[in-house]
């Protein structure tokens, strides 16, 4: 990939959160102002001049990239959070995890019918979180314009759950 030099800015933590998993830690990328800026610039270039009304990002690391991108594109930002974190009325979507189930929520009035929404997260792994976020957008009668991520763990086949969406990732890992 064109941006593979950014991989050297990501810390790999073996056996976290459990044995056999290599955790891709973006905090080392974030603290490097050049690398963080490069990721930000790549996302701006990708989505500038696109018909996007609002960015929705997934808690918590997705907020870092989604909020900055929404600000740069001069559009609104919608947080998608874990249950009980949003103060007003919400809609929710549950999804399967490798070891159980999780749920994401969004304010009922966060997206207006017909709005084109760009979903942003730091990582695409199995696709469950972003698929749930896309379902939330649909429940609000919004349209998912696309899905953007910094890292994709392609060997987990997360794109399979996101079939039909324009999915973009800056960095791709083909193996653990």
List the catalytic residues.
61, 98
Residues 80 and 133: beta-carbon distance below 8 Å: yes
Beta strands (DSSP E) in 88-142 are 90-97, 100-107, 116-124
Residue 56 dihedral angles phi and psi, to the nearest 5°: -115, 130
DSSP at 81: B
In angstroms, the CA 31 to CA 149 distance is 18
């Amino acid at each position: 990939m064109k941006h593979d030099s950014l991989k050297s800015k990501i810390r790999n933590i073996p056996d976290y959160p459990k044995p056999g998993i290599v955790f891709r830690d973006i905090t080392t990328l974030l603290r490097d102002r050049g690398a963080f800026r490069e990721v930000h610039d790549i996302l701006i270039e990708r989505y500038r001049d696109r018909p996007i009304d609002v960015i929705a990002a997934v808690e918590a690391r997705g907020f870092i990239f989604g909020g900055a991108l929404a600000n740069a594109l001069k559009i609104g930002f919608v947080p998608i959070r874990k249950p009980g974190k949003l103060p007003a009325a919400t809609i929710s979507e549950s999804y399967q995890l490798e070891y159980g189930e999780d749920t994401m929520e969004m304010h009922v009035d966060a997206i207006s019918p017909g709005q084109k929404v760009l979903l942003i997260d730091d990582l695409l792994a199995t696709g469950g979180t972003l698929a749930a976020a896309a379902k939330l957008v649909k429940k609000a009668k919004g349209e998912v314009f696309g899905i953007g991520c910094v890292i994709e763990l392609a060997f987990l086949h997360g794109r399979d759950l996101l079939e039909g969406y324009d999915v973009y990732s800056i960095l791709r890992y083909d193996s653990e």
